[in-house]
Structure 1
Amino acid sequence: MDANRWAEMFPCMIARTSTTDVISIGVGGTRNGALQLMRAELQVLSPLVPIREVNFLRFCKQHAEGVWAVVDVSIDADRDASNPSNFVTCRRLPSGCVVQDMPNGYSKVTWVEHAEYDETAIHRLFRPLIASGMGFGSKRWVATLQRQCECLAILMSTVPAADHSAITASGRRSMLKLAQRMTDNFCAGVCASTVHKWNKLYAGNVDEDVRVMTRKSIDDPGEPPGVVLSAATSVWLPVSPQKLFDFLRDERLRSEWDILSNGGPMQEMAHIAKGQDHGNCVSLLRASAMNANQSSMLILQETCIDAAGSLVVYAPVDIPAMHVVMNGGDSAYVALLPSGFAIVPDGPTSSAGSGPNHSGSNSGGGGNNNSNGNGNVSMGRGGSLLTVAFQILVNSLPTAKLTVESVETVNNLISCTVQKIKAALHCES
Structure 2
Amino acid sequence: MSFGGMFDGAGSGVFSYDAGGGGPGMHNPGRLLAPPPIPRPGAGAGGGGFASSTGLSLGLTNMEGGGQLGGAFMGSTGSGGDGDSLGRAREDENDSRSGSDNLDGASADELDPDNSNPRKKKKRYHRHTPQQIQELEAVFKECPHPDEKQRMELSRRLNLESRQVKFWFQPSLDIGLETLNFDEYRRAFARVLGPSPAGYVSEATREVGIAIINSVDLVNSLMNEARWSEMFPCVVARASTMEIISSGMGGTRSGSIQLMRAELQVLSPLVPIREVTFLRFCKQHADGLWVIVDVSVDGVLRPDSGTGAGPAGYMGCRLLPSGCIVEDMQNGYAKVTWVVHAEYDEAAVHELYRPLLRSGQALGARRWLASLQRQCEYHAILCSNPHPNHGDRHEPISPAGRRCMLRLAQRMADNFCAGVCATAAQKWRRLDEWRVEGAGGRDPAGGEDKVRMMARQSVGAPGEPPGVVLSATTSVRLPGTPPQRVFDYLRDEQRRGEWDILANGEAMQEMDHIAKGQHHGNAVSLLRPNATSGNQNNMLILQETCTDASGSLVVYAPVDVQSMHVVMGGGDSAYVSLLPSGFAILPDGHTAPAAATDPSSQGSSPNAHGGSSNNSPGSLVTVAFQILVNNLPTAKLTVESVDTVSNLLSCTIQKIKSALQASIISP
For normalisation by structure 1, the TM-score amounts to 0.88
**How many residues align structurally?**
400
**1: CA distance, partners of 2:250 / 2:528:** 55
Matched ranges for 1:246-395 at <5 A:
246-291=488-533, 295-347=537-589, 382-395=617-630
Identity of aligned residues (%): 66
Do the aligned partners of 2:274 and 2:316 also contact (CA within 8 Å) in 1? yes
Shift of 1:183: 0.2
Q: Does 1:419 align with 2:654?
A: yes
Q: List structure 1 runs of 4+ shifted beyond 6 angstroms.
A: 80-83, 85-88
Counterpart in the other structure of 1:227: 468
SS of the aligned residue for 1:49 comes to coil
Q: Give the counterpart letter for 2:257 in structure 1.
A: L
C-alpha separation between the residues in 2 aligned to 1:42 and 1:80? 15
Within 2, Cα distance between the matches of 1:406 and 1:304?
Answer: 31
1:208-250: per-residue Cα shift (whole Å, max 9, x none)? Answer: 6211111111231200011111111011113111111000001
Aligned residue for 2:628, secondary structure, equals: strand
Q: Deviations over 1:247-302 (max 9, x none)?
A: 00011100000000022110000000001111000000000122557525200000
Amino acid at match of 2:373: Q
Hey, what's the Cα distance between the residues in 1 that align with 2:617 and 2:452?
Answer: 26
8 Å CA contact retained: 1:206, 1:407: no
CA distance in 1, matches of 2:401, 2:376: 21
Write the distance in 2 (CA, Å) between the matches of 1:38 and 1:140: 20
Aligned to 1:91, what secondary structure does the other structure show? strand
- Aligned equivalents of 2:623 and 2:532: distance in 1? 27
Checking the alignment, whether the CA contact within 8 Å between 2:468 and 2:629 is kept in structure 1 is yes
Contact 2:276 2:301 in 1 (8 A): no
Larger Rg: 2
Give the secondary-structure state (helix, strand or coil) at the position aligned to 2:510. Answer: strand
**Structure 1 counterpart of 2:339, one-letter code:** V
**Greater CA deviation, 181-190 or 217-226?**
217-226
Consecutive unaligned residues in structure 1, runs of 5 or more: 352-379
Deviation larger for 58-67 or 394-403: 394-403
Shift of 1:426: 2.7
The 2-side partners of 1:289 and 1:30 are apart by 58
Of 237, 245, 252 in structure 2, the residue corresponding to residue 23 of structure 1 is 245
Match of 1:140 among 346, 367, 370: 367
The CA deviation at 1:112 is 0.4
Residues 29, 167 of structure 1: alpha-carbon distance in 2 compared, 3 angstrom cutoff? same
**Corresponding residue number in structure 1 for 2:388:** 161
1:57 match: 279
1:289, 1:296 within 8 Å by CA — same for their partners in 2?
A: no
The residue correspondences of 1:152-191 to structure 2 (distance < 5 A) are 152-158=379-385, 160-161=387-388, 163=390, 166-191=396-421
Counterpart Cα distance in 2 of 1:314 and 1:251: 12
2:114 paired residue number: none
Q: 1:8 aligns with which of 230, 234, 238?
A: 230
Matches within 5 A, 1:28-43: 28-43=250-265
Give 3-state SS (helix, strand or coil) of 1:140's partner: helix
- Indicate whether 1:117 and 2:344 are aligned: yes
The match for 1:107 is: 334
The amino acid that maps onto 2:427 is K
Letter of the structure 2 residue corresponding to residue 223 of structure 1: E
The alpha-carbon deviation at position 88 of structure 1 amounts to 6.6
Deviations 1:20-79 (A, max 9, x none): 111111112111111111111100100111110111111111111111111111121785
Describe the SS at the equivalent of 2:376: helix
Structure 2 CA distance, aligned partners of 1:346 and 1:79? 27
Q: Distance in 2 between matches of 1:303 and 1:81?
A: 34
C-alpha spacing 1:88/1:313, structure 2 compared with 1 (3 Å)? closer
Amino acid in structure 1 at the alignment position of 2:237: A
Query: Which of residues 432, 455, 460 in structure 2 aligns to 1:202?
Result: 432
Change (3 A) 1:325 1:7: same
Distance in 2, Cα, partners of 1:78 & 1:132: 22
Q: Kindly indicate whether the alpha-carbon contact (under 8 Å) linking 1:288 and 1:296 is maintained by their aligned counterparts in 2.
A: no
Please identify which structure carries the higher strand content: 1
Change (3 A) 1:229 1:3: same
- What do the CA deviations read for 1:296-355 (whole angstroms, capped 9, x no partner)? 52000000010000000000001000000001110001000000001011115689xxxx
Amino acid at match of 2:626: Q
Contact preservation (8 Å) 1:340, 1:389: yes
Code of the aligned partner of 2:493: E
SS class of match (1:202) = strand
Asked if the contact 2:301/2:316 (under 8 Å) is kept, the reply is no
- The alignment's C-alpha RMSD in Å is 2.5
User: Are 1:127 and 2:328 an aligned pair?
Assistant: no
Distance 1:82 1:160, change over 3 A: closer
Q: CA deviation at 1:384?
A: 0.8
- 1:96 is aligned, of 304, 323, 327, to 323
Tell me the secondary structure at the aligned position of residue 387 of structure 1.
strand
- Distance in 1 (CA, whole Å) between partners of 2:468 and 2:304 is 37
Where does residue 636 of structure 2 map in the other structure?
401
| Separation of aligned partners in 1, 2:428 and 2:512 | 33
Asked if the contact 2:300/2:317 (under 8 Å) is kept, the reply is: no
Describe the SS at the equivalent of 1:426. helix
1:144-163 Cα offsets, whole Å, 9 max, x none, are: 11111111111111264353
Say whether residues 1:211 and 2:452 are aligned partners.
yes
Contact 2:514 2:525 in 1 (8 A): yes
Distance 2:590 2:288 in 1: 34
Preserved CA contact (<8 Å) 1:126 1:346: yes
Question: Contact 2:386 / 2:399 at 8 angstroms: preserved in 1?
Answer: no
> In the alignment, residue 328 of structure 1 is paired with which amino acid?
G
